[in-house]
A and B are shown apart, each in its own frame.
Chain A
Amino acid sequence: MVIGFREAIWFLLLPIVSTMVSVGIAGTGFNQKFASPRRLAAIIFFSIMMSLVLIEASGWEFWSSDDPWKRCFWTACFSGLWSAICSRSHATLYIGLALIAAWTAWVILPVDASWKDLHREFAFWSAWMVSGVLLSDLALRRLVEKNAAKWVYWVLVAQVGGLFLLAASAYSALASLSLGLVAATFVIACLASLRRIDHAELWIAPILFLCVQLVVATRLYSSPRPLWVYGLITFLPCIVVVVDALFFAPKSNWRRIAVAAGVCVILVALVGWHIYG
């Protein structure tokens, strides 16, 4: 995928600028008034801007039966709104996210006759989506709670980077949206590292939902890859959390960052090596 000027504007510049604006809408730490409405407004703005990326990549079909993967926009938006509303209650948050994830699995897989040969696999991929979203969300929020709010989004950058490698080998619309997602996540990661972001967990759900859904969509639009490739991308945050918890949690934060970065680089490199090596 070669990026021209027009693509750079739509799939890099638009996500970068709109994510900065979204983070600004959510609040920058100086004013906690109307925190909840601000979070909701930020997610809505973010979702609308990402939908523009999708429209440019693939046209205006958010409920097309031909390309149901485009419905990922709605499920990402709803998951973001839900996490903006329930930011303080874990139980309610996860019940809602689980329901949205189950609904996601129901709506984004194509059920018409032309996909009949893959219908048998859909139960598996539905379970994959639900578990991928929930476990990765749990893992990332755990990192936020364990004093990793400043670097947790770099784990997400690695995850969506792996997604981009996978999508770029499949289908241009998926690759374009993935690239926009990389750009948006990169901005959030930078701002979080610079402590210019509040509600660090606010962006986890919508980005994760988009990411996991697009991983499954690439399965539909390219020749099947070994399961470990999809697994490394989908469950990358879980792997990082396990490594962090098992071996390095008591150590210094820099060592944690170095280990997490090492794990991310190795896993993404493995994915890239398999696809392009």
Chain B
Amino acid sequence: MKFLTALSMVCMALPSFANVRAEDLKLDAEKSTIEFVGSKTDGKHTGGFKKFSVNAKADHDNPEKSEIVIEIETDSIYSDDNNLTQHLKNPDFFNVRKFPTIKFQSKKIALVGEDGAEITGVLTMLDKDVEVTIPVKVQMTEDTLTMKTEFKIDRTKWGMNYGQGKINNEVEISSTMVFNR
């Protein structure tokens, strides 16, 4: 009986211990980037977003329970061509007036190898929710946690259909997020 009581006390204590080990991460916006490369039949363009916010919680004991929510301000889009930047803002692409944010909300995090993970979540863009899985590499120091990723998305899944046949459907995304601990 004493043993059962002791066991139940340990079980009750575990979640609170886990909470202690969960850490809110603070984004270092200066060092963080979200960039993309769009390709077309006769070349490619690079660009990215200047403004985004990240809410991230790292659970060191149960990394699978970590969470990350990214919100991107679509109006902060930039590219290597000013005319293209303006075009990217209009309804052919991001329709920034109507859809001012792009949101990624993680649902599941799976560890891959020693320093990698796959984050599965919902990417909401142009008012459409599509589940995506993002491979990330994680580097940790005493002061910082850095996440790097490179992956591709099919823009047409969100209804971004402009220029199909001339502009590739697949867009390369790369991001570096640096968090201060």
Contacts and interface: CB of A to CB of B under 8 A. Distances in A.
A170 B162 CA distance: 13
Interface string A158-171: 00000000000111
Interface string A109-147: 010001100000000000000000000000000000000
Residue among A4, A171, A222 with max Cβ neighbours from chain B (10 Å): A171
B92 A172 contact: yes
Interface string A59-74: 0000000110000000
A221 B83 contact: no
A223 interface: yes
Interface of B is mostly: loop
A2 interface: yes
Interface residues of B, number: 14
A110 B97 CA distance: 10
B43 interface: no
A221 B91 contact: yes
Nearest to A175: B92
Contacts of B5: none
Residue among B82, B90, B98, B163 with max Cβ neighbours from chain A (10 Å): B90
Contact of B98 (A4, A114, A169, A223): A114
B90 A170 contact: yes
B162 A172 contact: yes
Contacts of A115: 97
Contacts, number: 30
Contact of B92 (A4, A114, A171): A171
Interface string A167-184: 001111100000000000
A114 B63 CA distance: 39
Contacts of A66: 98
Interface in B74-115: 82-83, 86-87, 90-92, 97-98, 100
Given A4-B165, A115-B97, A173 B83 contact: no
B166 interface: yes
Contacts of B97: 110, 114-115
A221 B87 CA distance: 8
B100 A222 contact: no
A173 B91 contact: yes
13 contacts: A66-B98, A110-B97, A114-B98, A170-B86, A170-B90, A171-B90, A172-B162, A172-B163, A173-B91, A221-B90, A221-B91, A222-B90, A223-B83
Given A221-B91, A222-B86, 12 more contacts: A2-B166, A66-B98, A67-B91, A114-B97, A114-B100, A169-B83, A170-B90, A171-B90, A171-B92, A172-B162, A223-B83, A223-B86
Interface of A: 2, 4, 66-67, 110, 114-115, 169-173, 221-223
